[in-house]
A and B are shown apart, each in its own frame.
Chain A
Amino acid sequence: MLCEKCRKNEAKIHVVMLMNGEKKETALCEECAKKLSNLKLGMDFGNVNEVEIQKLLSIFDNKNAKKGIDISLDIVCKNCGQTYSQFRKSNKLGCVECYKSFSDLLEEYIQSYHKNIEHIGKIPKSEGNKLFKQKTLIKLKDELTYAVIEEDYEKAAVIRDQIKEIESEEAKVHEFEKLEY
Chain B
Amino acid sequence: MSLKNWNTDEIIKEKIVLTSKISVSRNFKGIKFVEKINVEEAKAIISDVYNILAMSKNVNLIKFGKCNDAEIKEETEKYFISDSILTEREKVALLICNEENFNVLINNEDHIKIECISDGLNLEDSYRNADRIDDIIEDNKVYEFHEKYGYLTASPNILGTGVKASVILHLPAIAITDSISSLSKELSEQGVTIKGIYKDGEINHGNIFEVSNKVTLGINEEEIISNLQLVVLNIIKKERISRGRLIEENNIELQDKIFRAYGILKYARILTKDESLDLLSLFILGAELDLFEIDKEKLNNIFTLTRDFSIKDNFGIENIDYQRSNLVRNILK
Segment at the interface with B among A26-34, A44-52, A124-132, A167-175: A124-132
Which residue of the partner chain, among A99, A113, A120, A126, contacts B157 with CB atoms under 8 Å? A113
Would B156 and A117 count as touching, CB distance under 8 A? no
List chain A residues, Cβ under 8 A from B32: 79-80, 94-95
Would B215 and A123 count as touching, CB distance under 8 A? no
- How many B residues, CB 8 Å from partner? 38
Within A39-75, which residues are at the interface with B (CB < 8 Å)? none
A122 with B221: in contact, given A81-B36, A95-B32, A96-B144 (CB under 8 Å)? yes
Which residue of the partner chain, among A93, A110, A120, contacts B219 with CB atoms under 8 Å? A120
Of all chain A residues, the one with the shortest Cβ separation from B31 is A95
What does DSSP make chain B's interface, helix, strand, loop or mixed? loop
Q: Flag whether B143 is at the interface (Cβ < 8 A).
A: yes
A99 with B149: in contact, given A80-B36, A93-B33, A116-B218 (CB under 8 Å)? yes
Q: Flag whether A21 is at the interface (Cβ < 8 A).
A: no
Q: How far is the CA of A127 from the CA of B150 in the complex (A)?
A: 10
Would B218 and A119 count as touching, CB distance under 8 A? yes
Would A121 and B150 count as touching, CB distance under 8 A? yes
Would A120 and B220 count as touching, CB distance under 8 A? yes
Q: Flag whether A91 is at the interface (Cβ < 8 A).
A: yes
- How many A residues, CB 8 Å from partner? 31
Would A123 and B145 count as touching, CB distance under 8 A? yes
Q: Flag whether A9 is at the interface (Cβ < 8 A).
A: no
Which residue of the partner chain, among B134, B147, B152, B160, contacts A96 with CB atoms under 8 Å? B152
Q: Flag whether A115 is at the interface (Cβ < 8 A).
A: yes
List chain B residues, Cβ under 8 A from A131: 147
Would B146 and A114 count as touching, CB distance under 8 A? no
A121 with B160: in contact, given A82-B36, A92-B109, A96-B152 (CB under 8 Å)? yes
Q: Flag whether A109 is at the interface (Cβ < 8 A).
A: yes
A94 with B36: in contact, given A106-B156, A120-B219, A121-B161 (CB under 8 Å)? yes
Which residue of the partner chain, among B138, B144, B218, contacts A114 with CB atoms under 8 Å? B218
Q: How far is the CA of A109 from the CA of B159 in the complex (A)?
A: 12
Would A94 and B35 count as touching, CB distance under 8 A? yes
CB B222 to nearest CB in A, in angstroms, measures: 9
Would A126 and B150 count as touching, CB distance under 8 A? no
Q: Flag whether B169 is at the interface (Cβ < 8 A).
A: no
CB A4 to nearest CB in B, in angstroms, measures: 26
Of all chain A residues, the one with the shortest Cβ separation from B27 is A96
List chain A residues, Cβ under 8 A from B302: none
Of all chain A residues, the one with the shortest Cβ separation from B135 is A125
CB B67 to nearest CB in A, in angstroms, measures: 23
Of all chain B residues, the one with the shortest Cβ separation from A94 is B36
Q: Which of A109, A113, A119, A127 has the most CB of B within 10 A?
A: A119
Would A117 and B148 count as touching, CB distance under 8 A? yes
Q: How far is the CA of A79 from the CA of B215 in the complex (A)?
A: 28
Would B36 and A125 count as touching, CB distance under 8 A? no
0/1 per residue, A83-116, Cβ < 8 Å to B? 0000000111111100100000010011001111
List chain A residues, Cβ under 8 A from B161: 119, 121-122
Of all chain B residues, the one with the shortest Cβ separation from A127 is B145
Q: Flag whether A161 is at the interface (Cβ < 8 A).
A: no
Q: Flag whether B45 is at the interface (Cβ < 8 A).
A: no
List chain B residues, Cβ under 8 A from A121: 150, 160-161, 163, 219-221
Q: How far is the CA of A92 from the CA of B32 in the complex (A)?
A: 12
A113 with B156: in contact, given A81-B36, A94-B32, A94-B33 (CB under 8 Å)? yes
Within B202-217, which residues are at the interface with A (CB < 8 Å)? 214-217
The 6 closest A-B pairs by CB, nearest first: A116-B218, A119-B150, A121-B161, A95-B32, A114-B217, A94-B36
A-to-B contact residues, CB < 8 Å: 79-82, 90-96, 99, 106, 109-110, 113-127, 131
What are 21 A-B contacts with C-beta separation under 8 Å?
A80-B36, A92-B33, A92-B155, A93-B33, A93-B154, A95-B32, A96-B152, A99-B149, A99-B152, A110-B156, A114-B217, A116-B219, A117-B217, A119-B150, A119-B151, A119-B160, A120-B219, A121-B160, A121-B161, A122-B134, A124-B143
